[in-house]
Amino acid sequence: MAISRNGCEGCNDITCPSTIDVLSKDIAKNVITAHDRVQMRGMEACLFGSTGTCCRVCNMGPCQIIDGVDEMIGVCGATADTVAARNYARAIAAGAAAHTDHAREMIRGFIETAKGNSPHEIKDEAKLATMAEVFGVETEGKDKNEIALEIGELALADFGSQTDEPITMLKRAPAKRQELWKRLGVEPRGIDREIVEIMHRTHMGVDQYYKNIMLQGARASLADGWGSSMLSTELTDIMFGTPKPIRSTVDIGVLRADSVNVTVHGHEPLLAEALCMAATDEEIVALAKKAGAKGVNLAGVCCTGNEILMRRGVPVAAGFIQQEVVLATGAVEAMVVDVQCIMQSVQEVSKSFHTDIITTNYRAKIDGATHIQFDEEAPLESAKEILKKAIGNFKKRGDFYIPQEKKLDVVVGFSHETVNYMLGGRFRNSYRPLNDAIISGRIRGIGAIVGCDNYKMPDNHHEIVARELIKNDVLVLATGCAATGLGRVGLLTPEAASEAGPGLAEVCATVGMPPVLHCGSCVDNSRLLIAATAMVKEGGLGEDICDLPLAGTAPSWMSEKAVAIGQYFVTSGAYVVFQNLPITGSKKFHKFMAEEMEEIYGGRWDIEEDPLKLAQKMIAHIDKKRAELGIDKQRERVLFDMEMRRDLGTGGLTDAGCHGGPPEK
């Protein structure tokens, strides 16, 4: 069938030039993408499913609920609020489970590394020392591997803990936040346990009060953000190096005509790091040359891409929605996948080409794909086996098309430590200059743009949100496929600061940083929690995360992980706005999420489909927080009297509060 690929009058638009370019070529004519399927389906998404009121948890149903219509409650009597809250909590559980299983693998790899059973090593000893302190590990007289082993084992124990003690990392949060969580009874205990408890409480006939269900939703989300995701980020950094600013490129154009192209897609960097090491191995390079190629060119897709981009500067070929398009070039010898966000369709697309889809994790196989199990005890050998398979395909490559001119430069690698160093670097490592820039109003606030991309929305929504934020002096921190998308439109370069408002532009010029900072993969959203906490601890911006002029969004979210992430930000005190959420079919639950949560956590959910308005809502929240902190006047002075910004003081601003209104003295 004929498919219009250049946009369909306001819906599902593709704006990405290289996507349009590749799909318009003859070699791609048989490729059906997610975008095509959105159009081909010819039916709207089910109203009950998309507003949260379809219940399938028992076999008296499925029940479709209409809030306010008596005969349309569940057969068991469950209301729209109960059903929507249960579904939502289950999405949190699934998202948290994904991060948790990923984290567990990383920690097991970390332990093997500490034992000397892997080709990796303990690289970041400063971070190792920080983690030793968090876990109370004595470092005197021990070598780095002994310390790492103790940390690794304690970290792993947090997953299966059966005590009622909170998980270790929770104590990294601001003191006031910890007290609040304690008071509410939402401190996560064992990480796995919180996910199990959600599944239990949302089973038929258990927890049937939406507010109580969401207490557990909040607790499990914290087990993800401050637990598994944070453990994964920190231990991965120790093992593979904490990201530092590094130049690289993004876009499909990073594929190379003269090399064996291997795209690495999924999430767990253990495999990706091993592939990076194997790609430069003499034997592999020799084999590639023998096959007529210059070598092996690795290119990232999705968050695996972000992991090796951040730490090694390996180019990223594609975000989530381009995973099929990158194959449609005909230039990929193998797409290596592990877990999460891999569309089953890549296998179908690969059939039109010489491309192999190689699954590597026993948890994630695809009918028809080649499976080469990644052996954690012999990562390099596994990686070589995979690359050999890819090299074997090089000679079979037929016609192909790589959009060369559309390769975009990016500067990435903004870990919490980098922000600390870059902004504070001239004097000492600290968040003082960042806080001061916010207090003086040169930086209005922080906007986090995280998460996926999704063909439900035109593909330029991240860009619209980001441009509006930076134009209004909001510094953007980006992760996940959102960050990749922003790189594709040129916003991850210091030069992009020319599009920022005068205050942000000045800060970016002074430091030499982009107005949009790439902070990593989805699990690395935990970096944002640490950064926010550091800002609180630095002083002058209140006493808790909910006092900060900060707002988060995941435009075009797709994965359940985005729901878990959004919830841990809200539970940590942030304002989080998505373009849609499956909660709108229930009145009380919706109101609870969008309004009442703020009274409990100081953070709340919001929904706004229009990306420009979404950005403006984030700015409005930032301004509200500035006013509560009493720093709104400073900003007016900055904007209207450039001279005065030099002599602004910072004192006396620590008494703002956000737990239910006026400052607590």
With CB under 6 A as the contact rule, the residue among 106, 122, 170, 302 that binds ligand CUV is 302
SS (H, E, C) 221-285: HHHHHHHHHHHHHHHHHHHHCCCCCEEEEECHHHCCCCCEEEEEECCCHHHHHHHHHHHCCHHHH
Instruction: Return the number of other C-beta atoms located less than 10 Å from residue 630's C-beta.
Output: 14
Per CB under 6 A, contacts with ligand SF4 among 25-84 are 55-58, 60-63, 74-76, 78, 83
User: Of ligand SF4, ligand CUV, none, which one sits near residue 62, judging by CB under 5 to 8 A according to partner kind?
Assistant: ligand SF4
Euclidean distance between CA atoms 520 and 333, whole angstroms: 26
Per CB under 6 A, contacts with ligand CUV among 303-332 are 303, 320
CB of 492 to ligand CUV, least distance (A): 15
With beta carbons less than 8 A apart as the criterion, state whether 248 and 314 touch: yes
User: Of ligand CUV, ligand SF4, none, which one sits near residue 76, judging by CB under 5 to 8 A according to partner kind?
Assistant: ligand SF4
Task: Output the DSSP codes for 299-330.
Answer: EEEHHHHHHHHHHH---EEE-GGGHHHHHTTS
By the rule CB under 6 A, 561 interacts with ligand CUV: yes
DSSP 8-class letter at 442:
S
Per CB under 6 A, contacts with ligand CUV among 463-502 are 480-481
Q: Looking at beta carbons only, is 252 or 293 nearer to ligand CUV? A: 252
By the rule CB under 6 A, 341 interacts with ligand CUV: yes
By the rule CB under 6 A, 175 interacts with ligand SF4: no
Give residue 571's identity as a one-letter amino acid code: T
Q: Looking at beta carbons only, is 184 or 204 nearer to ligand SF4? A: 204
User: Of ligand CUV, ligand SF4, none, which one sits near residue 303, judging by CB under 5 to 8 A according to partner kind?
Assistant: ligand CUV
Euclidean distance between CA atoms 217 and 195, whole angstroms: 9
User: Of ligand SF4, ligand CUV, none, which one sits near residue 516, judging by CB under 5 to 8 A according to partner kind?
Assistant: none
Task: Output the DSSP codes for 82-149.
Answer: HHHHHHHHHHHHHHHHHHHHHHHHHHHHHHHHHTT-SS-----HHHHHHHHHHHT---TT--HHHHHH
Q: Looking at beta carbons only, is 83 or 195 nearer to ligand SF4? A: 83
User: Of ligand CUV, ligand SF4, none, which one sits near residue 452, judging by CB under 5 to 8 A according to partner kind?
Assistant: ligand CUV
According to DSSP, the β-strands at 575-578 and 316-318 are unpaired
By the rule CB under 6 A, 378 interacts with ligand SF4: no
With beta carbons less than 8 A apart as the criterion, state whether 397 and 354 touch: yes
Q: Radius of gyration (Cα) for the chain, nearest Å?
A: 24
By the rule CB under 6 A, 137 interacts with ligand SF4: no
With beta carbons less than 8 A apart as the criterion, state whether 574 and 551 touch: yes
Q: Looking at beta carbons only, is 508 or 558 nearer to ligand CUV? A: 558
Euclidean distance between CA atoms 427 and 433, whole angstroms: 9
User: Of ligand CUV, ligand SF4, none, which one sits near residue 248, judging by CB under 5 to 8 A according to partner kind?
Assistant: none
Query: Which residue's structure tokens are 């992991």?
Result: 307
Q: Which of 261, 279, 285 is nearest to 400 (CA)?
A: 261
Q: Looking at beta carbons only, is 74 or 485 nearer to ligand CUV? A: 485
CB of 336 to ligand CUV, least distance (A): 15
User: Of ligand CUV, ligand SF4, none, which one sits near residue 60, judging by CB under 5 to 8 A according to partner kind?
Assistant: ligand SF4
With CB under 6 A as the contact rule, the residue among 14, 65, 522, 583 that binds ligand CUV is 522
Residue 341 tokens read as: 């966000």
Residue 283 tokens read as: 């034997």
User: Of ligand SF4, ligand CUV, none, which one sits near residue 320, judging by CB under 5 to 8 A according to partner kind?
Assistant: ligand CUV
The residues that touch ligand CUV, with contacts defined as CB under 6 A, are 267, 302-303, 320, 340-341, 451-452, 480-481, 521-522, 558-559, 561
The residues that touch ligand SF4, with contacts defined as CB under 6 A, are 55-58, 60-63, 74-76, 78, 83, 204
